[in-house]
Amino acid sequence: MLEDQPIDCFIGNNINRVEDDKLLNGKGQFGSDTPFKPNALHAVVLRSEHASGKIKRIDFSKAKKLKGVHSVITGKDFSKISNPLLSVIRTEFKTWCCAVDEVHYVGEPIAIILATSRYIGEDALQLIDVEYSVNQPVISIKEAINTKTKFVHKKNYKSNVVSDRNFEYGKPNKFFTKSHKIVEIEIEYPRNSCTPLEGFVVHSEYDKASRIYDVKSNFQGPFSLHSVLSRALKVEEGKLRLISFEDSGGSFGIKQAIMPMIILTCLASKLSNKQVIWVEDRLEHLTAASSATGRLTKLRASINEKGLIEALDYDQIDDVGAYPRAPEPASLYRMHGNLSGAYKVKNIRCRNRVVLTNKTPSGLNRGFGGPQHYFALERLVHQIAVELNLNVLDVIKVNLLEKKQFPYKSPSGALLDSGDFQKLVKKVVKSSTYKNILKKKNNAIKNGKIYGIGYSAIIEPSISNMGYVTTALPYKDRERTGHKGGALASTSVSIGPTGSVYVTCDSLPQGQGHKTILSQIVADVFGIKINDVFVNTNHDTHKDAWSIAAGNYSSRFAGAVAGSAFNAANNLKKKLKKIAASQLNCKSENILFDKEKIYDKKNSDNYLNFKRLVGIPHWSPGNLPEKLNPSLKETVFWGNEKLRPPNEKDEINGSLAYGFVFDVCGIEIDPITSKLKIDEYVTGHDAGKIINPLLANGQIYGAYAHAVGASLLEEFKYNDNGSFLSGSFQDYHLPSTYEVNEPEIIHIETPSPFTPLGSKGLGEGNCMSTPVAIANAFSDALKIKNVKLPLTNTKVHQYLNLNKNEKKPKHINEKINFKNYPINGIGEFELNIDQNELWKKIFDFKNLKTIIPGCKSLKEITKNNLNGIIQLSIGPVKGEYSFNVSIKKIKQNKSFEISGNGHGELGNGTGIAKIEIINKNKKSFLVYSYGAKVDGKIMIVGNRLINSSVKLLVNQIFQSFTLNKSSDETFLKKLLKLFGIKI
Amino acid sequence: MKPCNFKYIKSSSINEVLDVLDIHGEKAQILAGGQSLISMLNMRIANPEIIIDINFLKDVISLENKDNTIENWSFI
């Protein structure tokens, strides 16, 4: 009758999230809901408007006079009482959290204003005047590698490459010298992020008496960064106490990057002797929080005639932004152990370089290194099929590892724990979605539609080895600094006197459902109700067990943390069995826990209630059998010896568990609207034992939605000037239900032999597999090799029109070079008025003032040098700008040049224009070309508007000159308001 | 939300809205749905002196059936 398993088993079943009632009813306690002291000060960050430059002068005088402003703290002030950030890669320059003298990316903190309210702080911010001497920034990876003159950190460096390592596994040279065929692919993966709902929030307080920094924040780990933080703050470990907020509005990794702001608010608290509060806004988050790395990869494969990959040759370059902030260059090394992906290839050569650019430093982001890595590998597999004229599915099948090979040691050191790739591929291929995709492609070809199919087969690593990032260092450096490898997960389970069970863990949930999963597991072990388990995930470094691996990242929860909870509960169960055996007068191996009762397996009438049993150690601790310790608290630190430091051959088992994801998608492209539609998508997963399919599928849907965003819409854009162009959701587009179709999800379960429950992570897989599946489908649809994400409508349009030449104006002087002006254009008009009249019109500066709407004043200071003030607006954005322009190289009735600059609270701009009057075939033309660059807030949030408006506007102005009638003032007025920083 | 200091007018008629706009011009800003204005205010990109809230303006929240045609105002 009674089995040794509880009858109502929660593990493996769809259990509703226990967290949701509170969250969906608006009762969540997020960072901004958390109370702070009434006399706390609010921090506002002054940020750099320029990507590269020297701070010449900062004028705080007006800001400091504002009532309610406590103080303004600069980078220099901070540097005096702190250490620079430690980084994995040693650099000659110092990584400060707040710029000292020089700025290196748009959004870099320059100073912190402390005020009695955020409102006052923001008022003060608008009163600060910063003067820079601006340098030309390094923006693209290619530029960073190739330049001989532009360096992100000029003072101390002669190169932008901060790490350059070569690896060789097996005998790649042997194959590349005499291969049947070599297939090559070059990819560029864009910078993007997973943009959680909630931004960073931190409450820091320095206690003068105990000298302890008390920090409440939404930092999520990894707690290896605790050492980086305490060292920067110049305190011993225990004097930095990190506490998490009650609830989290999501992270997807990026909240790791709150680290610098923890430091700055702590130091600000020490200096002000008050609690300091900082809440990030969306503009700050998109501009300066963090980003996934951008990557440039050249990948070559030596293949045989069947498409079997014999050897791979990677050349990978990661763009980590202006500082290689810890844990970078982890993005580049997380996948190092599984460079061979899901495939049999034994021979690999790899060159890894880390470059600096004048962009926001990169950091954790869902998929971390996986999207970049598989984009190259899976595009290559697709290309192999194209070049050998084989079916992609056949090429994948030929290369996939076989079931009998597990556990499989990859050439670069990953120990792939378990898998049955063929089984999952078979199941996906049998799905109705896959059959639909094939059918639709056939129909599309018949009907002249554009349809493509894309595949991807990837390994999804989870439970990171904390030592993998040290693979970035040469072996002798690792020898010197001490080898690092392994990862621990910890959970505490305790039982109260009347049967409530308490669980705490070292993972800080960001919305995944930790409370549900831990309740399920612990309730199963003790045979009790889920409601009797109380999970508290508020982590506190002064109260909870933690190791450097603690935190919420690398999909470590299901495999490692939940596993440690299972072990902790089972350890307690062993003790309870002994107590129960003495009470029931039976052998402890015959004790069974089920339905809140503890039975003698042999006689089900012989039982105790769970509540009664657990009360015994509380009420009569001296009365336990075998002199058992009465403690009903068990803390388990679980780890696995398979995670070792990288060895002398640079082999690294970067993760403990490796899932498998196999995706197929069908996309359709509308040739008229250039819209790419994901028509059908099937995603197959093997993540070992699934604890809760409902939550597992929730993770897959979420990762899929993120991946669709990354594939079609999302990119952190910078222009050549270094201006950040994606500062609001107007310019950084997120996918909505309209873009995200529902994929068919298929599971198989091949348990991991290395985790307590056999579970592996599955929350990041689609971030790795989906972008490249979509890109492969796009490549298939348009028969093109170079596919660059995101595939926005504009980009799809460009791809569709690759071979069509754009119409160019006829009379343009092609020699004009506006390289340093990201906003530029050319145009021409046939003159309807006399050339002399035109000339007079242009050089009549009094008239010019009336032509430029919003122009409040215009004065000729010296000959052909003008100063003025202009009032401008873009939608609700209004501002006053002072500007000066000079007119040069005047050739009467022939040509002239205008150059100028403007300065206002929302931004600065400079511009140049060349105007020529050309006579051809008895007709006269006004020909113009112009370039402008704009910096500051206005560009970060309004670049799309500005770019298109400037083009329209300039066109309109010149047209107004050429017409012999009064121009349409209202239209011109509207347009000119959008422009104005130039002229 | 951390906008600049502004005067808030809860308008009661279209004429009032027009009067305010006439007197204050570009210093005044209409708050309708607020989808773009609120975030612009939050980021201090828009810094108006006056906000005219038309959310309670009955004139623009009407839906009328007139001679078999439906006349609706901007808020519907």
Contacts of A964 (CB under 8 A, 6+ apart): A832, A833, A837
Q: How confident is the model at residue B65 (pLDDT cuts 50, 70, 90)?
A: confident
Chain A residue numbers with beta carbons less than 8 Å from the beta carbon of B5 are: 119, 123
The answer to whether the complex's ipTM is over 0.95 is: no
Question: Nearest 5°: phi and psi at A524?
Answer: -60, -45
> Do the Cβ atoms of B39 and A118 come within 8 Å?
no
User: Would you call A941 an interface residue with chain B, using a CB distance cutoff of 8 Å?
Assistant: yes
User: Would you call A793 an interface residue with chain B, using a CB distance cutoff of 8 Å?
Assistant: no
**DSSP states along B2-57:** -PPP-EEEE--SHHHHHHHHHHHGGGEEEESS-TTHHHHHHTTS---SEEEE-TT-
- What's the whole-model pTM score? 0.90
Residue of chain B whose Cα is closest to the Cα of A872: B26
Euclidean distance between CA atoms A878 and A876, whole angstroms: 6
- pLDDT score recorded for residue A8: 59
| Average pLDDT per consecutive 10 residues, chain A (983 residues; last block may be shorter) | 54 94 94 96 97 96 97 97 95 94 96 98 95 94 93 82 97 95 98 96 97 97 96 98 96 96 98 98 96 98 96 98 96 98 98 98 97 98 98 98 98 98 98 97 90 98 96 96 94 98 96 96 96 96 96 95 97 96 94 94 94 96 90 97 97 98 97 93 98 97 98 94 90 92 97 97 97 98 96 93 60 57 78 77 72 73 84 68 84 84 78 82 80 76 69 69 52 48 36
Buried b (16+ CB within 10 A) or exposed e, A450-488: bbbbbbbbbbbbbbbbbbbbbbbbeeeebeeeeebbbbb
Q: In terms of pLDDT, which residue wins out, A531 or B59?
A: A531
Q: Please give, rounded to a whole number of angstroms, the shortest distance from the CA of B18 to a CA of chain A.
A: 17
Euclidean distance between CA atoms A37 and A69, whole angstroms: 17
Q: Please give, rounded to a whole number of angstroms, the shortest distance from the CA of A715 to a CA of chain B.
A: 21
Residue with tokens 């302890």: A212
Instruction: Name which of A680, A693, A699, A579 is nearest A628 in CA terms.
Output: A579
Portion 97-126 of A in contact with B at CB < 8 A: 118-119, 122-123, 125-126
Euclidean distance between CA atoms A914 and A929, whole angstroms: 5
Q: Token digits for A737?
A: 């239900």
Chain A residue numbers with beta carbons less than 8 Å from the beta carbon of B47 are: 126, 878
User: How far does chain B reach from its first CA to its final CA, in angstroms?
Assistant: 26
Q: Strand, helix or coil at A900?
A: strand
Euclidean distance between CA atoms A585 and A596, whole angstroms: 19
The predicted model gives B23-30 an average pLDDT of 89
Q: Please give, rounded to a whole number of angstroms, the shortest distance from the CA of B63 to a CA of chain A.
A: 28
- pLDDT score recorded for residue A963: 61
Chain A residue numbers with beta carbons less than 8 Å from the beta carbon of B44 are: 122, 125-126
Using CA atoms, how far residue A714 sits from A790, A792, A940, in Å, is 6, 9, 15
Max CA distance (Å), chain B: 47
Q: How many CB atoms lie within 10 A of CB A927?
A: 21
User: Would you call A708 an interface residue with chain B, using a CB distance cutoff of 8 Å?
Assistant: no
**Taking a C-beta distance cutoff of 8 angstroms, is the pair B31, B54 a contact?**
yes
Q: Please report, as a single letter, which amino acid is at residue A664.
A: V
Q: Strand, helix or coil at A102?
A: strand
The residues with which A830 forms a beta bridge, in sequence order, are A925
What strands, in cross-sheet order, belong to the sheet with A591-594?
A591-594, A597-600, A603-609
Q: What DSSP state is assigned to residue A51?
A: S
Q: Token digits for A535?
A: 């999970």
Euclidean distance between CA atoms A479 and A242, whole angstroms: 31
Q: For chain B, what's the residue count?
A: 76
User: How far does chain A reach from its first CA to its final CA, in angstroms?
Assistant: 89
∠A498-A500-A505 over CA atoms, to 5°? Answer: 145
- pLDDT score recorded for residue A154: 79
Q: Which of B43, B50, B51 to mutate to test the interface with A (most CBs of A within 10 A)?
A: B43
Give the dihedral sign, CA A763/A768/A773/A774: positive
**Taking a C-beta distance cutoff of 8 angstroms, is the pair A691, A759 a contact?**
yes
> Do the Cβ atoms of B26 and A873 come within 8 Å?
yes
Q: Please give, rounded to a whole number of angstroms, the shortest distance from the CA of B65 to a CA of chain A.
A: 33
Name which of A118, A123, A877 is nearest B40 (Cβ-Cβ). A877
Q: Which of A877, A938, A943, A977 to mutate to test the interface with B (most CBs of B within 10 A)?
A: A877
The residues with which A746 forms a beta bridge, in sequence order, are A684
Give the dihedral sign, CA A469/A474/A478/A480: negative
Q: Please give, rounded to a whole number of angstroms, the shortest distance from the CA of A817 to a CA of chain B.
A: 33
Q: Which of A32, A122, A880 to mutate to test the interface with B (most CBs of B within 10 A)?
A: A122
Q: Token digits for A622?
A: 């001296």
Which helix (DSSP H) or strand (DSSP E) does residue A633 occupy?
Answer: strand A633-638
Chain B residue numbers with beta carbons less than 8 Å from the beta carbon of A876 are: 29, 36-37, 40, 45-46, 48
**DSSP states along A408-445:** EE-TTS-EE----HHHHHHHHHTSHHHHHHHHHHHHHH
Q: How many CB atoms lie within 10 A of CB A923?
A: 9
- pLDDT score recorded for residue A883: 83
> Do the Cβ atoms of B45 and A906 come within 8 Å?
yes
- pLDDT score recorded for residue A567: 97
Q: Which of A878, A938, A940 to mutate to test the interface with B (most CBs of B within 10 A)?
A: A878
> Do the Cβ atoms of B36 and A282 come within 8 Å?
no
- pLDDT score recorded for residue A928: 81
∠A135-A136-A140 over CA atoms, to 5°? Answer: 140
Q: Please give, rounded to a whole number of angstroms, the shortest distance from the CA of A359 to a CA of chain B.
A: 21
Euclidean distance between CA atoms A763 and A538, whole angstroms: 22
Euclidean distance between CA atoms A418 and A424, whole angstroms: 13
Q: Token digits for A490?
A: 């910890």
- pLDDT score recorded for residue A982: 36
Euclidean distance between CA atoms A525 and A568, whole angstroms: 10
Euclidean distance between CA atoms B52 and A945, whole angstroms: 25
